[in-house]
Amino acid sequence: WAVVADFTHHAHSASLSAVAVNNRYVVTGSRDETIQIYDMKKKIEHGALLQHNGTITCLEFYGTAHLLSGAEDGLICIWNTKRWECLKSIKAHKGHVTSLSIHPSGKLALSVGTDKTLRTWNLVEGRSAFIKNLKQNAHIIKWSPDGERYVTVITNKVDIYRLDTASITGTITAEKRISSLIFITDYILAIAGDDEMIRLYSCDSQKCVCEFKAHENRIKDIYSFEREEQHVIVTASSDGYIKMWSLDLNKTKDVPSLLCEVNTKARLTCLAVWLDQASEMNENSDKAATSSQANEDEKPSIVRKKKVCWTDKSDKTAKRKRKITPEKQRLEAPLQKKKKKRNSST
């Protein structure tokens, strides 16, 4: 494999703090409090979003129609990516929003902040559904690809939760602070931190199944995707290098082979991979949409006038894809009761 720079732009007046991609756009967040949009099909700058007051800390697309952003001002903003307007701005945390993650169904989202809370958001109603107090501030939260579990990261510790019970099923403890984490499969986690090692852990046994030296300096971010039946891990380090590794999922104990590397000669802070949807690929990442999800997101029924409807309740396709778990029913039950009470009083 070879790496060639084909688009470069001086995006911000301060360092970048977050980046996200879907099948067309790349968005970048910065300490200059702005979100810049880039159209990767045309390789042009598309504009800027100026809703936040504070460093942009997290960005995540859901399909092709929505973007969620979080910042140090404690806000989570939901954006429509067709018109790039803010559909809803939620005061999510008393402190900074440090990380957020959208459930694969698009109906739930999780966020963590510097107020020592983990918050569940009902995106169908656009409001808070559940608040869990944490002993310490978590700086990373992530859903698994199947949406059956999620993980939080507090310094060097990873807590694994089950969705149906909302309780911790296991804990992984690393030697140093964890800077990035991603699900390779529903059961395998790749963890990178303040050293030069990448470690793969089993969510079931919480044991390290493979580790290898990836860089000469600490690793800032990690990403993964599938292309041409090959699973690829991409790593970015403070040493300026971006490296791509081929992982055999049938032999996870084997050290991944290096596909290519490039020296950007920059101090890297974040990383995302944009894949051209025109080429044949099978994406295995919760940060980008498959073509079938993209078709669903094209439907105009997702957003209705002033009411924020992240996913239409009548969307039968979504129901077929994801069965409603008891945990989801428990989270949505209070909202349904409130609605009935409000209607009866009216």
The predicted-structure confidence for 72-108, as pLDDT tens digits, reads as follows 999 999 999 999 999 999 999 999 999 999 999 999 9
Residue 87: in which H helix or E strand, if any?
strand 85-91
- What digits encode the pLDDT tens for the residues 230-277? 899 999 999 999 999 999 888 878 889 999 999 999 999 999 998 876
Q: Whole-model pTM?
A: 0.77
Q: Residue 313's pLDDT is what?
A: 36
Sign for the CA dihedral angle at 250, 256, 260, 266 comes to positive
What's the CA gap between 289 and 164, in Å, rounded?
24
Q: Residue 40, by phi and psi: left (phi above 0), alpha (psi -120 to 50) or beta?
A: alpha
Name all contacts of 109-113 with Cβ < 8 Å and 24+ positions apart.
109/68, 109/76, 110/141, 110/143, 110/150, 111/70, 111/76, 111/141, 112/137, 112/138, 112/139, 112/140, 112/141, 112/152, 113/74, 113/137
Phi, psi (5° rounding) for residue 100?
A: -145, 160
Separation CA 105–CA 115 (nearest Å): 27
Which pLDDT score is estimated for 336?
Answer: 54
Reduce the DSSP state of residue 331 to 3 states and report it: helix
**Number of other CB atoms surrounding residue 118 within 10 Å:** 21
67 vs 296: CA distance, rounded Å: 15
CB 179 within 8 A of CB 191: no
Domain ranges of the chain: 16-217
With b for 16 or more beta-carbon neighbours within 10 A and e for fewer, the 177-210 pattern comes to ebbbbbbbbebbbbbbbbbbbbbbbbbeeeeeeb
* DSSP label at residue 52: -
Rounded to an integer, the average pLDDT of 196-222 is: 93
pLDDT tens digits along 295-337:
444 443 333 333 344 444 334 333 334 444 554 455 455 445 5
Instruction: Determine which of 38-42, 118-122, 213-217, 287-291 has the lowest per-residue pLDDT on average.
Output: 287-291
Q: Where would I find the H helices in the chain?
A: 291-297, 316-321, 326-345
Backbone angles phi, psi at 342, to 5 degrees: -65, -40
Q: Residue 340: its pLDDT value, please?
A: 52
8 Å CB contact between 113 and 95: yes
| Average pLDDT in the chain | 83
Domain at 16-217, CATH class:
mainly beta
Residue 25 and residue 43 in contact, taking contact as beta carbons nearer than 8 Å: no
Spell 11-36 as b/e; 16+ CB within 10 A means b.
Answer: bbeeebbbbbbbbbbbbbbbbbbbbb
